[in-house]
Chains A and B, each alone.
Chain A
Amino acid sequence: MDPTGPATGMRRDRAVSPWVIPPIAVALGTLIALLVIGTDARVPVAWVGGFATLVVSFVALVVDQRSSTLAALRADYAGQEAAARGRLAQQEAETVRLAALLPEAVHRLQKGEFAEDVLSEVRYDPALAHEFQLAHEAALRAVVDAIQNAEDLRESAERGFVNIARRVQAIIHQQAQSLREMEQRHGQDHQVFADLLKLDHGTALVGRLADSIAVLGGDRPGRQWGRAVPLYSVLRGAMSRIIDYQRVELHPVSEVAVVGPAVEPLIHAIAELLDNATRYSPPQTKVHLTAAEVQSGVAIEIEDGGVGLSEEARERAERMLREAQAGIDLHDLGETPRLGLAVVGRLAQAYDLTVALRSSAYGGVRAVLIVPATLITSTPATGAAHGIGTTFGPRPLAEAGTRRRVAGPKASPPVELGADPSANGLPQRRRRHLATAAETSEAAPAAGPAAPAATATAKPEGSSEPGMWLGEFTDALAGRDGAPDVPFPQSGDESTDERDKRE
């Protein structure tokens, strides 16, 4: 009897059990009665008193024992209850922990960690019941698996998006190239050219959309540039991709270039900011685009004269940028997606750009995009590939002149235009004669009357191809002495006239 142990102990502790009082009281009563009553009645009274005392003592004893047993049971029960409460609290805590654990697990899964890794890192309190632990694990696994599936689905959808966007980009690139060729080909027909420009513009807009989707899908926008591109071209490239490019006023920018890998992302980010600026400002206002070198790189400013941002709207926009930097879900974009800021945020995060939206002095919004110095190079790319800006830009005037003279023979079309009609007008016989060496001596006198002063210089080399006449022509153009006149193209006369007029 386990409970008796503590019960006897309790009885010993409690020196005087209340149940001692009734037998003592009966015994005392009996004694008093014995003293009070007559002697003849003492014996029966003593008997009765003794018996009563015995009975009461027995009853008291029994009651005392039971009460101590009850106390022991109560104590035992209380102990059990406390243990049960403890376990319950533990389990509650565990469930709460699970509730906190789940979002974290979801987050980690979304970041691309594997379900197994996430599950294996979950630690359980060793004091927990095994079944409880198993049940928890099962619940967690079910949730994690479901999320993993959803993530896989999302990822494959995203890949699909990016894949399609890439194909569109490829087509658009091709299209833009052929449009450029067509523009070159039909450059003389203003109407066709105007239509081509419209088509070109539309194509560029589609291209930007495809780029946006690619960026949101985690890909890079558009093509890779293998060389640095001047900032001015980058800014104009960005202007090329918005609807209202005519409203953008491009101010002179510092002569720096953007390194190849950053060109396309930068163009795209600026285009999105420009698009925002033109879209949310009145159509008759200008959007100012400037760029200046700052300590940390180059600051590109886009300022519009729109309604401006309320503090709340600015908060929202910046939150959007921040969220986009943390990564966005294509499915969260909603039915009428506002891709712009999301794209800018993504690009900013990927290329270390800093974007800030402030209110502008014009009343609208001033977006400042800071390009880190690592993406800027001070040496503009050289050569024809760089485009006209610098092909001719830094070249000194004298050199430009040289280039023209050297390139002169290459610009054969005008010469041929001048020569062809005469050749056409001639009989075949004449053409054959031209080809013979004897004919050249005839050709020289033909020029002779036209340019008597030139014959002296022309003769030493006069026995060569008609192309040499062009050399003289260009010499004359360049203002060299000894070749005052030019035989073949009429434009030659004109040009010398012009030159004389100028001098």
Chain B
Amino acid sequence: MSDEDHAWHEAGPERLYVITGGRSGEAAKEPLDLVTLVIARSGPPHGMQPEQAAILRLCTAPISVAEIAAYLGLPFSVVSVLLGDLLAEELVVTRSTVPPVADMGLIKEVIRGLEQL
């Protein structure tokens, strides 16, 4: 996978700052994290930036930001910038996951309980 990624990195003549328009995702309104789920609200409109169009195509079913980043071979920051634009245009909806820390104790409890069976 990493080899493939490497091949891909070699491939495009464009650099990442052109894809994000120079933004690094610092000023994102809605903080996205790796496990935020994204769903597209519609298909990509004509003349859209290929990366954003690709995200919209990927998001026909809910998918996490991490997965999007992996499929596109783009760093998380780039994907979050692109998603930020898509959110602003209301082309995608995001949903944060329940904080995993809250569940952790419960899961452990359940496991312990199961073990004791």
In the assembled complex, the CB of A354 is this many whole angstroms from the nearest CB of chain B, namely 22
Which partner residue on chain B sits nearest A227 by CB separation?
B11
Instruction: Tell me which residues across on chain A come within 8 A of B75, comparing CB atoms.
Output: 183-184, 186-188, 193
Q: Is A303 an interface residue (CB 8 A)?
A: no
Q: Is B95 touching A407 in the complex (CB atoms < 8 A)? A: no
Chain A facing B: main interface SS: helix
B95 touches A421 (CB 8 A): no
Q: Which of B10, B16, B73 is packed against the most chain A CB atoms within 10 Å?
A: B16
Judged by a CB distance under 8 angstroms, whether B87 is at the interface is no
List which A443-482 residues lie within 8 A (CB) of chain B: 446, 477-479
A200 at the interface (CB under 8 A from B): yes
User: Chain A residues with Cβ under 8 A from B58's Cβ?
Assistant: 392, 400, 404
Is B17 touching A389 in the complex (CB atoms < 8 A)? no
Contact A263 B61 (CB under 8 A): no
Assuming the contacts A387-B8, A388-B54, asked whether A446 and B114 have C-beta atoms less than 8 A apart, the reply is yes
Count A-B contacts at CB 8 Å. Answer: 185
Residues of B within 8 A of A267 (CB): 13
Interface stretch, picked from A6-14, A212-220, A228-236, is: A228-236
Contact of B111 among A264, A384, A426 (CB under 8 A): A426
Specify which of A388, A397, A425, A477 lies most central, judged by the most chain B CB atoms within 10 Å of its CB.
A388
> Is A45 an interface position by the 8 A CB rule?
no
Smallest CB–CB gap between B105 and chain A, Å? 10
| In contact, B15 and A390 (Cβ under 8 angstroms) | no
Q: Which of A233, A401, A411, A426 lies in contact with B115, CB distance below 8 A?
A: A426
Of the residues B37, B69, B78, contact of A494 by C-beta under 8 Å:
B37
Question: Which residue of chain A has its CB nearest to the CB of B31?
Answer: A190
Known: A201-B15, A385-B11. Is A478-B107 also a contact (CB below 8 A)?
Answer: no
Contact of A177 with B9 in the complex, beta carbons under 8 Å: yes
Q: Decide: B13 and A234 in contact? CB cutoff 8 A.
A: yes
20 contacts between A and B (CB under 8 A): A180-B9, A181-B6, A183-B16, A187-B74, A193-B25, A204-B15, A240-B15, A240-B18, A245-B18, A263-B13, A384-B73, A387-B11, A400-B58, A411-B70, A414-B66, A425-B107, A490-B98, A494-B37, A494-B98, A498-B37
Known: A414-B64, A477-B61, A494-B95. A197 touches B16 (CB 8 A): yes
Contact flags (1/0) for B72-84 with A, using CB distance below 8 Å? 1111111000000
Residue from B43, B61, B74 within 8 A of A495 (CB atoms): B61
Return chain B residues, CB-CB under 8 Å to A225: 13
The reply to whether B7 and A384 contact each other, CB–CB distance below 8 Å, is yes
Tell me the dominant secondary structure on chain B's binding face: helix
Interface residues of B in 31-80 (CB under 8 A from A): 34-35, 37, 39, 43, 46-47, 50-51, 53-54, 57-58, 60-64, 66-67, 69-78
Which chain A residue shows the least CB distance to B108? A425
A410 pairs with B1, CB closer than 8 A? yes
- Chain A residues with Cβ below 8 Å from B51 are 388-389
Residues of A within 8 A of B (CB): 176-177, 180-181, 183-184, 186-191, 193-194, 197, 200-201, 204, 225, 229, 232-234, 236-237, 239-240, 245-246, 251-252, 263-264, 267, 384-393, 395, 397, 400-401, 404, 407, 410-411, 413-414, 421-422, 425-427, 430, 446, 477-479, 490-491, 494-495, 498-499, 502
> How far is A385 from B10 in the complex, measured between Cα atoms in Å?
8
CB contacts (< 8 Å) of B10 on chain A: these are 177, 385
Give me 13 other A-B pairs in contact (C-beta within 8 A), A201-B17, A239-B18 excluded.
Answer: A180-B16, A183-B78, A188-B34, A201-B15, A237-B14, A252-B47, A385-B11, A387-B8, A393-B57, A422-B107, A422-B108, A495-B63, A498-B95
The reply to whether B26 and A194 contact each other, CB–CB distance below 8 Å, is yes
A240 x B17 contact (CB < 8 A): yes
Chain B nearest CB from A340 CB (Å) reads 19
Q: B13 touching A190 by the CB < 8 A rule?
A: no
Which of A197, A407, A410, A446 counts the most chain B CB atoms within 10 A?
Answer: A197
- Given that A246-B21, A490-B97 are contacting pairs, would A385 and B7 also be in contact in the complex, using a CB cutoff of 8 Å? yes
Taking a contact as CB atoms under 8 Å apart, the answer to whether A237 and B12 are in contact is yes
B24 adjacent to A197 (CB under 8 Å): yes
- Whether A388 contacts B37 by the Cβ 8 Å rule is no
Of the candidates A200, A252, A404, which one forms a contact with B61 in the assembled complex, judged by CB atoms under 8 Å apart?
Answer: A404
> B62 near A477 (CB under 8 angstroms)?
yes
Closest partner residue, chain A, to B22 (CB atom): A246
The 10 A-B residue pairs with the shortest CB-CB distance, nearest first, are A187-B75, A237-B13, A389-B50, A194-B24, A236-B14, A252-B47, A392-B54, A498-B62, A240-B15, A187-B76
Q: Are B111 and A499 in contact (CB under 8 A)?
A: no
In angstroms, Cα B7 to Cα A411, docked, is 19
Q: Is the Cβ of B24 less than 8 Å from the Cβ of A193?
A: yes
